[in-house]
Amino acid sequence: MATGIDGYVSGLDTTSLINSLMAVEANQQTLLKTKQSTASTLVTALQTLNTKVASLATAGTTASTAASWAKAKATSSDTTVTATASTSAQPASLSFRVTAVAAAQTSLASVPTDFSGSPTFTITHGTGPDATTSTVTAQSTHIEDIVAAFNADGTGVKASAINVGTSAVPVYKLQLTGAETGAANSFTVAYTKDDNGTPAQAALGLTTTTAASDASLTLFGGTAAEATVTSASNVFTGLATGVDVTVSAVTAADAADVKLTVARDTSNAKSMASALVSNLNVVLSEISSRSASTNGTAADGTKILKGGLFAGDSAIRQLRQDLLEKASLPVDGVSPSTIGLVINKDGTFTFDDALFSSALADDPAKVQSIVSGVAERLASTATTASNATNGTLTLNIQAQQGVVKDLDQRIADWDDRLAVRRESLTRIYTNLEVSLSNLQAQSTWLSGQLASLTSSTSSN
């Protein structure tokens, strides 16, 4: 910041002098900024660790829940049949044939010419007391306007114009397709015609190309228990306990029956155990990398060893020890390493896929018990640390954020203090230059007076 008084009388570089003095004055603020930067970095590091610990808590909770282990997987012997199993699914085996797939009604109609006023159509879905109706009115008798009217929301059908003539002489028919499959979703259409000047309802002659029909399966074919089940869609909900089946084609006459198998989902068990180990290693790695010392350089250029951000945090050190302990201690006297949750010499863990698969095949209940036990312990420790209200990491983050906020205010206070100090120094040196200027002027005047006296004496 220029003062505008550099060397006016004294010849001093006043601006540089003031800047040097201000740099000394600002040392304290510089130290505060360094502390704030370190505290902000620590907050970010703690937030990152907290997120990873929370993920470990989630993985542990999932792997310790009995419902997670009860998950089953449904498989089909035919690619045209797919099955999904919910958490309530139980091991089962079922054979059947797909005898029909669901279809929506598709019909063609010629556009009538004997309309009464605007073309108005009434669409009736189903029959009997459960039938529903909707009415649409086209803007004109033009085929595109009629198609647009049928395609409005809530009509239950989709329409298109089909040219059954030639490109030179087009002849359009109205094609209507039901929005939903199933025999109960068949439809008829009536229109308002002009009956000798009197409006009257008349059926729109529909030529059905595809009838509305249900999907059907034949269970236990060729036995006394043979039964047929139907569905308005191609999805059979709850065909077996907790199992939904979707079909897309009829079983060929010469094809074998479709075999549906519902069994324990071993891949899910493996995924849970693997995810538990993976999340644990992520947390341990984060703590280790943030705690490790690094080589640095001091202000005087000497080499120093700098501790990591977490190096002096006893709570984080204790968290690491707790996680290692909870993950490696036996469950009911059995070491987790015997089923593939192996602790390494460097304090990390490895998921041994082959060992886990073998143990799961030999004794699923034992594997579930061990993994669930380890998972429950890890979930408890991780939740205690990462709880959004009173977790140890959460409270640490809040404390460090308070430090950052306090330092920010102190730095701002120093901005005001330094501004006042610069103004004071500028005023001091300005006054100095003014004083020197006055002294110089007096010196010049005195020199002139002395010169005059000398001249007068010489002349006498």
Angle (nearest 5°) at CA 73 between 70 and 77? 155
Question: Pick from 228, 246, 264: which residue ends a domain?
Answer: 264
Query: In 3D, which of 375, 339, 366, 334 has the Cα closest to residue 354?
Result: 339
Q: Return the pLDDT at 457.
A: 63
As beta bridge partners, residue 193 has: 115, 200
Distance CA 188, CA 157 (A): 11
Instruction: For 168-226, write each residue's pLDDT tens digit.
Output: 899 999 999 999 999 999 999 999 887 666 778 889 999 999 999 999 999 998 899 99
Same domain, 117 and 94: no
Residue 127 DSSP SS3? coil
Axis-axis angle for helices 364-386, 27-64 (nearest 10): 150
The DSSP letter of residue 280 is H
DSSP for 172-193, please give it.
EEEEEEESS-SGGG-EEEEEEE
Decide if 18 is inside a domain. no
Decide if 321 is inside a domain. yes
Decide if 245 is inside a domain. yes
Same domain, 113 and 182: yes
Cα–Cα distances in angstroms (integers) from residue 339 to residues 96, 278, 301, 364, in the given order: 39, 16, 53, 11
Can you say whether residue 93 is alpha, beta or left, with left for phi > 0 and alpha for psi between -120 and 50 degrees?
A: beta
Same domain, 186 and 284: no
Instruction: Give the chain's largest Cα–Cα span.
Output: 160
Same domain, 342 and 257: no
Q: Return the pLDDT at 196.
A: 65
Q: Return the pLDDT at 135.
A: 94
Decide if 88 is inside a domain. yes
Number of H helices, E strands in the chain: 9, 20
Burial class (CB in 10 A: 0-12, 13-18, 19+), 364: middle
Same domain, 343 and 286: yes
How many structural domains does the chain have? 3
Same domain, 97 and 218: yes
Same domain, 156 and 286: no
DSSP for 16-27, please give it.
HHHHHHHHHHTH
Same domain, 95 and 219: yes
C-alpha radius of gyration, the chain, whole number: 44
Distance CA 293, CA 305 (A): 6
- For residue 165, what are the contacts with CB-CB under 8 A and spacing of at least 6? 171, 172
Decide if 416 is inside a domain. no
Residue 131 DSSP SS3? coil
Q: Return the pLDDT at 257.
A: 94
Threshold 0.85, pTM exceeds: no
Instruction: For 323-382, write each residue's pLDDT tens digit.
Output: 999 999 999 999 999 999 999 988 899 999 999 999 999 999 999 999 999 999 999 999
Distance CA 447, CA 245 (A): 117
Q: Return the pLDDT at 7.
A: 60
Distance CA 17, CA 10 (A): 13
Decide if 429 is inside a domain. no
Cβ(295)–Cβ(289) below 8 Å:
no
Same domain, 145 and 238: no
Written as six digits, the tokens of 117 are 């006023």
Residue pointed to by tokens 């542990």: 60
Decide if 237 is inside a domain. yes
Distance CA 351, CA 339 (A): 9
Q: Return the pLDDT at 1.
A: 44
Query: In 3D, which of 377, 369, 378, 337 has the Cα closest to residue 269?
Result: 369
Q: Return the pLDDT at 439.
A: 77
Same domain, 94 and 220: yes
Decide if 422 is inside a domain. no
Question: Pick from 357, 385, 413: which residue ends a domain?
Answer: 385
Domain that holds residue 279: 58-67+268-385
Distance CA 321, CA 317 (A): 6
Same domain, 111 and 204: yes
- What is the number of residues in the chain? 460
Question: Pick from 339, 356, 385: which residue ends a domain?
Answer: 385
List per-residue pLDDT tens for the chain, 460 residues long: 444 556 666 666 777 877 887 778 778 877 888 788 888 888 899 999 999 999 999 999 999 998 888 888 999 999 999 999 988 888 899 999 999 999 999 999 998 888 877 889 999 998 888 899 999 999 988 899 999 999 999 999 999 999 999 988 999 999 999 999 999 999 999 998 876 667 788 899 999 999 999 999 999 988 999 999 999 999 999 999 999 999 999 999 999 999 999 988 888 899 999 999 999 999 999 999 998 887 767 666 777 777 788 888 899 999 999 999 999 999 999 999 999 999 998 889 999 999 999 999 999 999 999 999 999 999 999 999 999 999 999 999 998 888 888 888 888 888 788 888 888 888 887 777 777 777 777 777 887 777 777 666 665 5
Same domain, 246 and 189: no
